[in-house]
Chain A
Amino acid sequence: TQLLEQSPQFLSIQEGENLTVYCNSSSVFSSLQWYRQEPGEGPVLLVTVVTGGEVKKLKRLTFQFGDARKDSSLHITAAQPGDTGLYLCAARTSGTYKYIFGTGTRLKVLA
């Protein structure tokens, strides 16, 4: 069974701090996605990373795909209260059209 493990599960920080969220697996994926979910809503895609070692930036968010395409990280610089939410990583299991999701990192940024 392929699993995506996210850490930390919960994170509460002050506005202006930096943070990193991790998504790890023992499996190799062709691509990996990061979503953000707000209470009462469905997840919204932030980014898809495809190439091992790839780094993508979305304003204050930096996403990296591991060289071996087994893990990924999300770094937020100078966090703001608007970054509060549940961050989920997801990947398609190899050779199928089935997606698996990590258990999520619940981030709270305090003003």
Chain B
Amino acid sequence: NAGVTQTPKFQVLKTGQSMTLQCAQDMNHEYMSWYRQDPGMGLRLIHYSVGAGITDQGEVPNGYNVSRSTTEDFPLRLLSAAPSQTSVYFCASSVRADTDTQYFGPGTRLTVL
């Protein structure tokens, strides 16, 4: 199993550009989530999904969209990048929403100029 994979590892955008961060897992996990990690602020939940076709907002959803058309994939879309979205983004998955054991991907480091 590859576990949770994220692409790209690094990305530089200009303000106003859009892009999609990819996340995939091969463990047949129902629950997937996106976090951003900023210095001194821990991880903050952006969006999450309890299964294919079901998504919901986390703590900091503004400026981001998600969809979950398959169990394996959970892409995160930045609609119009802003410097405040410069961060490290982590995708995670778990067997079910209530199993409380999340497996994290290696992260995407995004810089918005």
A78 within 8 A of B: no
Given contact pairs A41-B107, A42-B104, A98-B48, A103 touches B97 in the complex (Cβ within 8 A): no
**Nearest neighbor of A29 in chain B, beta-carbon distance:** B100
A45 within 8 A of B: yes
Residues of B within 8 A of A31 (CB): 100
A68 within 8 A of B: no
Cβ A99 vs Cβ B45 within 8 A: yes
Cβ A101 vs Cβ B43 within 8 A: yes
- Complex Cα distance, B102 from A7, in Å, reads 23
Chain A's interface: helix, strand, loop or mixed, by majority? loop
B40 within 8 A of A: yes
B90 within 8 A of A: yes
Q: Which residues of A26-81 have CB atoms within 8 Å of chain B's CB atoms?
A: 31, 33, 40-45, 48
Shortest distance in angstroms between B58's beta carbon and chain A's nearest beta carbon?
A: 6
Cβ B33 vs Cβ A99 within 8 A: yes
Given contact pairs A88-B42, A88-B43, A98 touches B101 in the complex (Cβ within 8 A): no
Residues of B within 8 A of A101 (CB): 35, 42-44
Q: Which residues of A contact B (CB under 8 A)?
A: 4, 9, 31, 33, 40-45, 48, 88, 90, 92, 97-104
Given contacts A4-B42, A40-B106, A90-B43, 5 further A-B contacts (CB under 8 A): A41-B106, A45-B102, A88-B43, A97-B48, A98-B59
